[in-house]
Amino acid sequence: VFGQRRLVAGVAKQILRGQAARGRCMTVLVFGKTGQVARELAQYSDVRCLDRADADLSQPLHCGNMIRRLQPEVVINAAAFTGVDEAEQDEALATVINGDAPAAMAVACAEMAVPFVHISTDYVFDGTGSTAFVPDHETCPLGAYGRSKQVGERGVVAAGGKYAILRTSWVYSRHGKNFLKTMLRLSETRDQLGIVNDQIGGPTPAAAIAAACYAMAGGLLSGSGGAGIYHFSGMPEVSWADFAAEIFAQSGRQVTITEILTQDYPTPAKRPLNSRLNCDSLKEQFGILRPDWRTGLEQLCKDIEVN
């Protein structure tokens, strides 16, 4: 979509400058192949994506050994246990995949002096307050999913290599399971929906996250960007009800939205009410701007297969 392509074009300039300085493209190893961000990363010519058959994240040592064997220049971890509610039923497995596996990847990268980019989540915070969380704000997850991702973050930092952790939120795309596809699917058979209006965050296109990760990998490799924890989400911040209203408006669906509270829609895992993320440091270090999630939404709605 146009908005996502504009973001990709902007970060591509930075990437190309780094590549010109090195005299060639970088070789990028991506953990993940079928997820929303991994599918977008797969479109880059110098990226190799690993699926579960190549590298099973439930076997962390195997993941680290794959890096040692393949000898990439940079590694991006776009794979995860993403079932927020399912994690409540199997926190041990979620912790292995979201915690131990990225830690093992980071250790291998540190040994080889290979930059490592790892995708994390706003769920590491408790969602209190109404201001945007900065990267160094104390983490305090509400549930198993957030705790498993917190373990991963700490493992990446402890490995001592050149890393970048990118926390993001409310990911959507034409791929996989996400809120956008759910709303379009439900609107095919229903003309009234109750949508939560007291959770606030920034919807984020998967293509924009992929572009940001790719740019950060290039920046770490060239030395033009610093290691650390960063935030990236779409703008402006809205409620789920507001997001749904824009989806229906741009897709031409006639759906009446009834705004409800989180307490009226109980789920196994608690959701943070405040998912606002302060993304200033990402702009300062890597020149990456927040995408306007409304741009290009209409065309994306047309392209999606909702079933």
Catalytic residues: 145
d(CA 272, CA 269): 10
DSSP 200-231: EE--EEHHHHHHHHHHHHHHHHHTSS--EEEE
CB contact set of 170 (below 8 Å; sequence gap of 6+): 179, 201, 202, 203, 204, 233, 234, 243, 275
Distance CA(204)–CA(213), nearest Å, equals: 13
Q: Which residue has the tokens 């009226």?
A: 264
CA 59 to chain centre: 22
For residues 6 and 298, the answer to whether their CB atoms sit within 8 Å is: no
Q: Which pair of tokens denotes residue 43?
A: 């479109």
CA neighbor of 200 nearest in space, from 109, 292, 132, 103:
132
Q: Is 155 helix (H, G, I), strand (E, B) or coil?
A: helix
Instruction: List Cα–Cα distances, 291 to 44, 124, 238, in angstroms.
Output: 20, 22, 14
Spell out the alpha helix ranges (H) of the chain.
2-22, 36-41, 60-70, 84-89, 91-95, 101-112, 144-158, 179-187, 206-222, 240-251, 280-286, 297-303
Residue 29 has φ and ψ, to the nearest 5°, of: -105, 125
